[in-house]
Structure 1
Amino acid sequence: MTMQTNVQTTVQKSVDHSALDDVQGLGLGIFLSGIGIYVLTSAGLITGQTAGVAVILSYLTGWSFGAMFFLINIPFYLLAYRRLGLEFTVKSALSVTLLSVMTELLPLGWTVGPMSQPLAALIFGAATGLGLLALFRHKGSLGGLGVVALLVQDTTGFRAGYVQLIVDAVIFSIGIFLFPGETVLWSLLGALALNMVIAFNHRRDRYVAT
């Protein structure tokens, strides 16, 4: 029993995250997510979750994605604090703020040229899915409905990726009435790719960190 306990303790310590680990992990997650969202909006596509709401509202109002995304996330911080703790809330608020700023700055140094919507959707799904995975593994998120998805997974075991798929279905159903059918179709491909990255890789029984 003592040997088993020592082995478990060693394994647990081997995956602890230092402050530097968190900084690079969260930074990478924000960077990848920002690239994905920039490609998405440059191709005129939409997506699900809180980011999707922000994208749709930015198209309809003319406000920037960064401003809409920052404002929409504010109400979710209280839920994150009450159910997931101060550390998660602070990291999520910081990640949302930095992503909002990043999406404003990216166009200043990078112009996305003409790109087919299917390719843009896949780039968005892969880059943003990996970005969110990095954020989740360092106790962060991009706030909003992602907080709800993580809360459901932690309390019921129902995977966060599947929760997001359900929410996405609702958002895309609304999008059908606002955007061309082809745009919605390829946008759905991007959302599916993103959520599959999370569903297949965000497993707490495979990855343990404190």
Structure 2
Amino acid sequence: MNHMRKWLWILFSCLCVAIGIQFLTNADLVIGGTAGLGIVMQQLTNVSFGVLFFSINLPFYFLAISQLGMVFTVRSFISVSIMSAMSDTLVLMFSFELPHPIMSAILGGAMIGIGLIFLFREGSSLGGFNMLCIFLDKRFGINPGKTMFLTDIIIVASATIVFGIVQVLYSALVIFIMTGILGRYHKKAPIERHHKKETEEVEQNEVASNL
């Protein structure tokens, strides 16, 4: 039952992110990471976002297996596959055009942020440069924050050439909203983990007393 509930939440998370991505692509907005790279490449190649996002993430799984474990890597691979399929399916079924890019930025950033929160909570991810950051940190001691900042800057800078400076400025609102939502989650997460640890210790003591 718990296993089924986990995958239902992962499906919901991927749907939220897929919807958020469609709001962005229809407004020519971009975010950092492999999703942002996929949006930029979609404009340059006319290949669907889902295919690009799935393909871009493939090299990162080899890093994740050694640094994050097989279970997390497989779960992330499935999540990326689901989100890629949902993105390409949604664009065929619905219209995500809104009257102004600011509305797309707000809704897109919020949907992606919410989706990622539930995805992280279920021990999964959407792959990408996060895996590279962890690998470089563990192997070479390179600060993951600096690596992520550098990759995001490069992706957003490339988006300036494709979409123009105005759209990139609107995209900054997307990143601000998404990181703000994730930031609030991570502030609460340590308390939740501490409570979970205490609960597990109590349960272990109860089991030990019954042996």
Question: May I ask how many residue pairs the two structures share in their alignment?
Answer: 192
2:109 aligned to 109, 125, 137, which one?
A: 125
1:94 aligns with 2:81: no
Gaps of 5+ in 2: 198-211
- Contact map agreement 1:87 1:139 (CA 8 A) in 2: no
The equivalent of 2:52 in structure 1 is: 68
What's the TM-score, normalizing by structure 2? 0.80
The two structures, once aligned, show a CA RMSD in angstroms of 2.7
Matched, 1:205 2:193: no
Mapping 1:1-210, distance limit 5 Å: 18-148=2-132, 164-165=148-149, 167-203=151-187, 204-208=189-193
Q: Please tell me whether the aligned partners of residues 21 and 112 of structure 2 are also in contact (alpha carbons under 8 angstroms).
A: yes
Tell me the amino acid that sits aligned with residue 51 of structure 1: A
Amino acid paired to 2:185 = N
- The gaps in structure 1 that reach 5 residues or longer are 1-16
Give the C-alpha shift of residue 167 in structure 1: 3.4
Task: Return the letter of the residue paired with 2:183.
Answer: A
Which residue of structure 1 lines up, in the alignment, with residue 205 of structure 2?
A: none
Structure 1-normalised TM-score? 0.81
Aligned equivalents of 2:84, 2:28: Cα separation in 1:
18
Q: Which has the larger radius of gyration?
A: 2
Which whole-Å deviations, capped at 9, do the CAs of 1:136-162 have from their partners, x for residues lacking one?
111100011133456789999x897x9
Find the aligned partners of 1:198 and 1:166 in 2 and give their Cα distance.
Answer: 19
| Cα offset, 1:113, TM superposition | 3.3
Classify 1:117/1:152 alpha carbon distance in 2 versus 1 (closer, same or farther; 3 Å): farther
* 1:91-142 CA distance string (max 9 Å, x none): 1000111111101111232112343111101111110011011111111000
Measure, in 1, the Cα distance between the counterparts of 2:136 and 2:9: 23
Letter in 2 for 1:34: A
Identity among equivalent positions (%) equals: 30
| Secondary structure in 2 matching 1:178 | helix
Which segment is superposed worse, 52-61 or 191-200? 191-200
CA distance in 2, matches of 1:114, 1:188: 18
- Deviating beyond 6 angstroms after TM superposition, the runs of 4 or more aligned structure 1 residues are 150-156
Contact 1:165 1:195 in 2 (8 A): no
Contact 1:172 1:188 in 2 (8 A): no
